[in-house]
Chains A and B, each alone.
Chain A
Amino acid sequence: MKDASRSPFVLRLGHLYPDQLNLYGDRGNILTLQRRCRMRGIELRVIGLGIGDALAPDEYDMLFIGGGQDKEQAPVAQDLYEIKGIGLWAAIEDDMPVLAVCGGYQLLAHYYRPANGPDMRGLGVFDAWTIHKGARVPRCIGDIAISWNGSTLVGFENHGGRTYLGTAKPLGRVLKGHGNNSEDHTEGAVYRNAFGTYLHGSLLPKNPHFADHLIELALRRSYGLTEEEIRSEDFAARFVPVPSEQVAMTAEHAFPEPVRSLSGIKELGRTREEASILPRLDDTLEWQAHAAMLERLGLHAEAVAALRHL
């Protein structure tokens, strides 16, 4: 645990296989975490972890793993199992927040069984497995919305394999779309602070509450924040946006006021993320995009609820 002094927060994000697993706009997830941290004066350092690189769990505060082409998934699976497996397990058991999307999600379950050919061994973080039922069974493709934590998550899914959960908890329930397997209405999997999901599109830009959830988990864990500390008068002062080139150019109006007390946030009449320790950002566009997707899926009540975030 780091020294919880007045120094600004720093988080280190390990991005696994950025060159191999980058198929579905995964860059959007990284950009989102980067920006949402920077706007609050949290420095997010992104470190790429390629094939052959070791994963030392104490060098990171959160991890991200995306999806890729089948051809590129095999060497990644081998590397994940042989080189990074132990470090990743240790990190997850120690409650490090991990986001695994699509192929990355499949690799964190027990195995991936292709239509033909041998099984691809996964890490078994999630008690779940994936079966590809052959070219005759259509892929799960399309917009998707799921319920999550009293709210919704929206995205796009495109996967041939069907994932079945053993004892693993799902990330959410499918409101519209396929989810894990198009059969049991589950989507994704959760183990401690590791989240597996098929949602891309990219996932985090349109789901700012989920992005903030990950950031908050990382902050709380890495800085060992206690409730007294969070409630203390000067806690909010630790989120001082550091104007850096890109954000500063354009987003001055969007900077939250650094010293806004939690009670101030409550005054906005927020329902779900009241408990967030992070200063609020202007997420108008984020929630409009989120609501627009819910509407397209015919989920009007949910869309209204999403717009109430504004």
Chain B
Amino acid sequence: MPKHKPSEAGEARRRRKSRARATVSTRKRPQGSLRAGLAVLGGRAAGALSRRLHLGGGTTIAGVIAQGLYPDIVGHLAKQLQHGSVLVTGTNGKTTTSGFIAAILSNAGLRVWRNREGSNLMRGLAGALIIRAHPNGKLKRGGQAISIFEVDEAVVPQVVQVAPPRVAIFNNLFRDQLDRYGEVDTVASRWQEAIRSLPESSTLVLNADDPAIAYLGESFSGRKLYFGIDDPSLDLPAQGVDAERHQTIDTRTCPHCGGEYAYEMRFYSHMGHYACPHCGYKRPEPDVRAMKVSHEGFDQLRISVTATEPLGELVVPLPGIYNVYNALASITAARALDVPWEPIVKGIEQFKPAFGRGELIQAGERTIRLLLAKNPTGFNEVLRTLFSGENKRHAMIVLNDNIADGKDISWIWDVDFERVTGHLLSLTVAGTRAFDLALRLKYAGVDPQQMSIVPSTNMRAVKSLAGNVHTKAQAIHAMSNGTGKLSRATTSTKEESSPANQAFGIPSALDVALSQTPEGETLFIIPTYTGLLEVRRELERRGLTPHYWEEKGP
């Protein structure tokens, strides 16, 4: 997940420059080292300054400066990695999958470096590498490490070119930020190109259950390993999921003949056991499969894993089927690197949820659980995990439309918010698009009067109408309450209107949500990406979480 999503155009420009200069620098090695050294120093100085001034973690700015000084800095340093690199991409689950792999590989005794402090664009990779490099342009510890690169979907072709990975994991492909990435098909064809340029010695790790991902295997002649779920009890119809219920499906037709896939089992969205009835193209047989998936409380899942032979059971310390795929992806990658079963189990079971991916935060007598949701499928799976069976929850949802979230929020109409009705103890709706989200929830059947709406700012228009909006709004409510009393008789004052109408910003939203959560209970916060950053910042301000760039890497 990108920590900062800057302008694509700027990044692209730098990439072009970087390619142009890369060819020059390979011929003049010493100059390359010199420039690399300069880039390392410059970048790290900028990072230190940024941290000093409390502008942030400083890894991204370090990467930007380093790339400016030496555009091929990533290629230059990545070549020195003795154990190569693992590339992780996909619409959802990049951070969690990278985390699993890091935990597994450290348990296997390797030194693991990640770009988790920075962004998952080129500059983030640059930042992560230069903080591990000497001023002479050489990696520390002689590069005796394996690097895990969590890479934004759009940047995969560039990363593959400058730093060909030993293992490349493609986890899933869903619609996400159509305004930024373009359509699902566009992303898929960019990935195909990237895979064609992979060296034969690389191993491709692919999700067999995602037809768009499995199909990528056809573009590669080297070693391919597939993973998938083989548990019929997870089939949506078998779970009694109403067939009428909306599911966002982003890949529905066969790439060979255009026929519509038929599913023998479907787990969510387009994930499952599919086949094209027209030409016979079907899900490849997975090399690593989860045979049985069962719940261990709300938090955890127990899975039994089989390769050519049964490997054993392990507990995934996170909820949601999507995390089974993240675990399977990391297990398959570990097997591609010849890691034995024991460190795999240890790594996954000891894994601590990353930034906003199900982490628990203690806020006095209450618990807060952060669950990032940034696109329809991610959102649907979070909602499915939270609001199933008889569970009733206190929830706060944050919808922002900043560039990193995607400016277009129409996707909320593709999310199955209908699921939450009847499962809510309290609900706070916040963010820059709080009203849109509240409206979506109203159409899903949530009573607007039961929502606390806390937008990010007050509207100027509301101020210029000077309170008579509240009066009129209340008037309508009163009128439609069926009391029969005509609205104009209602002489409601500002004080009478609900406090939710007067609170603004994430800190207020947190206060409202926490005040509605009794002691001893859990508040589930479901934010989009920048919403997560805001919530996190506010929790830090209240002394509730550590600064994420200070976490010690494995």
Q: Which A positions have Cβ atoms within 8 angstroms of B?
A: 19, 22-28, 31-32, 35, 69-72, 75, 141-143, 156, 158, 200-202, 205-206, 246-247, 249-257, 267-268, 281-282, 284-286, 288-289, 291-292, 294-295, 300, 303-304, 306-308, 310
Contacts and interface: CB of A to CB of B under 8 A. Distances in A.
21 contacts: A22-B414, A25-B414, A32-B443, A69-B185, A71-B185, A72-B253, A158-B408, A201-B410, A202-B413, A249-B421, A253-B481, A257-B480, A284-B473, A284-B476, A284-B477, A285-B439, A285-B448, A292-B435, A295-B460, A300-B460, A310-B473
Nearest to B376: A25
A72 B460 CA distance: 42
B78 to A, nearest CB: 30
A181 B44 CA distance: 46
Given A23-B175, A200-B410, A249 B445 contact: yes
Contact of B411 (A25, A281, A288): A25
B179 A268 contact: no
B465 A308 contact: yes
A304 B464 CA distance: 7
Nearest to A292: B435
Main secondary structure of the interface of B (DSSP, over half): helix
A33 to B, nearest CB: 11
A35 B438 CA distance: 15
A295 B461 contact: yes
B438 A31 contact: no
Given A158-B178, A206-B439, A285-B442, A201 B409 contact: yes
Contacts of A202: 410, 413
Nearest to A201: B410
Nearest to B456: A292
Contact of B436 (A24, A289, A308): A289
Interface string B430-458: 00010110111011011111000001000
In this complex, the member of A22, A288, A306, A307 whose beta carbon has the largest number of chain B beta carbons within 10 angstroms is A288
Given A205-B413, A291-B459, A282 B407 contact: no
Contacts of B472: 310
Contacts of A75: 258
Contacts of A156: 179, 407-410
B313 to A, nearest CB: 39
A143 B484 CA distance: 40
Contact of B443 (A205, A252, A255, A300): A205
A304 B184 CA distance: 39
Contacts of B439: 205-206, 285-286, 289
B359 interface: no
Contacts of B179: 141-142, 156, 158
A267 B481 CA distance: 18
A307 B461 contact: yes
Interface string B105-146: 000000000000000000000000000000000000000000
B461 A251 contact: no
B462 interface: yes
Interface string B387-425: 000000000000000000001111111100010011000
Interface residues of B, number: 55
Contacts of A285: 435, 438-439, 442, 448
Contact of B408 (A24, A252, A307, A310): A24
B258 A23 contact: no
Given A23-B183, A292-B435, A304 B461 contact: yes
A300 B464 CA distance: 9
Given A28-B410, A201-B410, A310 B476 contact: yes
Contacts of B488: 267
Q: Which 9 A-B pairs have the closest CB atoms?
A: A28-B413, A25-B410, A25-B413, A303-B461, A289-B435, A250-B447, A304-B461, A69-B183, A201-B410
A35 B461 CA distance: 28
A47 to B, nearest CB: 14
Given A23-B183, A206-B436, A307 B443 contact: no
Given A246-B418, A295-B460, 17 more contacts: A23-B178, A23-B183, A25-B411, A35-B443, A72-B253, A142-B407, A158-B408, A201-B410, A250-B421, A250-B446, A253-B477, A281-B480, A282-B477, A289-B439, A291-B459, A295-B459, A300-B461
Contact of B448 (A35, A201, A284): A284
A267 B421 CA distance: 35
A291 B178 CA distance: 24
A281 B476 CA distance: 9
A24 B487 CA distance: 38
A301 to B, nearest CB: 9
Contacts of A143: 407
B185 A70 contact: yes
Nearest to A264: B486
A257 B482 contact: yes
Contacts of B460: 295, 300, 303
B51 interface: no
B479 to A, nearest CB: 7
B480 A256 contact: yes
Contacts of A32: 443
A283 B246 CA distance: 25
Nearest to A305: B461
A256 B480 CA distance: 5
A28 B473 CA distance: 24
A76 to B, nearest CB: 12
Contacts of A284: 448, 473, 476-477
B469 interface: yes
A200 B472 CA distance: 29
A190 B445 CA distance: 33
In this complex, the member of B258, B411, B476, B484 whose beta carbon has the largest number of chain A beta carbons within 10 angstroms is B476
A69 B482 contact: no
A31 B179 CA distance: 23
A103 to B, nearest CB: 11
Given A307-B465, A310-B476, A28 B443 contact: yes
B409 to A, nearest CB: 7
Interface in B478-519: 479-482, 484, 486-488
A28 B440 contact: yes
A71 B250 CA distance: 12
In this complex, the member of B246, B411, B461 whose beta carbon has the largest number of chain A beta carbons within 10 angstroms is B461
B369 interface: no
Contacts of A281: 480
B459 A292 contact: yes
A231 to B, nearest CB: 22
Contacts of B469: 307, 310
A70 B183 CA distance: 8
B252 interface: yes
Contacts of B246: 27
Contacts of A200: 410
Nearest to A294: B461
Nearest to B249: A19
